[in-house]
Amino acid sequence: MRASKNTILITGGATGIGLALAERFLKSGNEILVCGRREEKLLELRRKHPAIKTRVCDVALETDRVALCEWAVSESPALNVLVNNAGIQRRVNLAEEKHWEAVEEEIVINLHAPVHLTMLFLPHLTKQKEPAILNVTSGLSFVPLAGAPVYSATKAALHSFTLSLRHQLTGSPVEVIEIIPPAVDTDLGGPGLHTHGVPVGEFADHVMERLKTGAREIAYGFSEQSSHASRAELDAIFERLNQPTREPSRA
């Protein structure tokens, strides 16, 4: 992915990791589009960075995903990078959970949306200069946090999808990059749940540095470890991560 002169859509880019990346991409001379559900977060972002284009969009809704693609391409016909960053994390006790709709929503936001957005944007991206798709997975793609079973499963699936997508697009101009955060101090899962994580600016700086080197998988700390672990190491990490008294998560 080139360092500047890209036009980049970041889903969920008004807060957390998406915001930190949006600000860094903007500073490096890229045009940025951002979507999210909360209008006030998008307004806040535009007040701080008037050059960023924003759209209210719930990626859980198929109609919103289609409209997002139409809007982004007509607003910015040179759009050449899609960052599938929007995600949610729920703690779920499988024996007690009664709310299928909430469980389903987590699957739809974290998995259906990036798969569908990839399909929607690909025909446009393949015609652009140096196009790329960046999928934000997790250190938990490689070893689950049992207390977030659906989240962990969606991230494992998105990692798998990213590998297949990259393989299928070999020989096409579209680069496929996986960003694999460890626990990062954002509001993921609700305020206060990830304060043990690395500072979001530190992680975003690392991502920007690694993008410059042409890296296709960008992990950090815990996720560097889990994404390269052997089966025996993964078993040991699973035990550590899921000790009965252990809370909160590491990714």
Ligand X SMILES: NC(=O)c1ccc[n+]([C@@H]2O[C@H](COP(=O)([O-])OP(=O)(O)OC[C@H]3O[C@@H](n4cnc5c(N)ncnc54)[C@H](OP(=O)(O)O)[C@@H]3O)[C@@H](O)[C@H]2O)c1
Does 57 bind ligand X (CB under 6 A)? Our answer is yes
Question: Encoding tokens for residue 89?
Answer: 């994390």
- For 169-185, letters b (16+ CB in 10 Å) and e give beeeebbbbbbbbbbbb
Convert residues 189-228 into a mask of x (bound to ligand X by CB under 6 A) and - (unbound): -----x--x-------------------------------
Residues 134-193 that bind ligand X (CB under 6 A): 136, 138, 181, 183-184, 186-188
Residue nearest to ligand X according to CB distances in the complex: 16
Interface pick for ligand X out of 1, 21, 22, 59 (rule CB under 6 A): 59
Beta-strand pair 7-11/81-84: parallel
Q: Are 194 and 183 in contact (CB under 8 A)?
A: yes
Please choose, out of 44-52, 83-91, 160-168, 227-235, the segment that lies near ligand X by the rule CB under 6 A.
Answer: 83-91
Using the structure block, give the residue that is written with the tokens 């360092």: 3
CA distance 72 to 10: 11
Nearest approach, Cβ of 127 to ligand X (angstroms)?
26
Between the two ends of the chain, the Cα-to-Cα distance in Å is 26
Active centre residues (catalytic): 151
The residues binding ligand X (CB under 6 A) are: 11-12, 14-18, 35-38, 41, 57-60, 85-89, 109, 136, 138, 181, 183-184, 186-188, 194, 197, 251
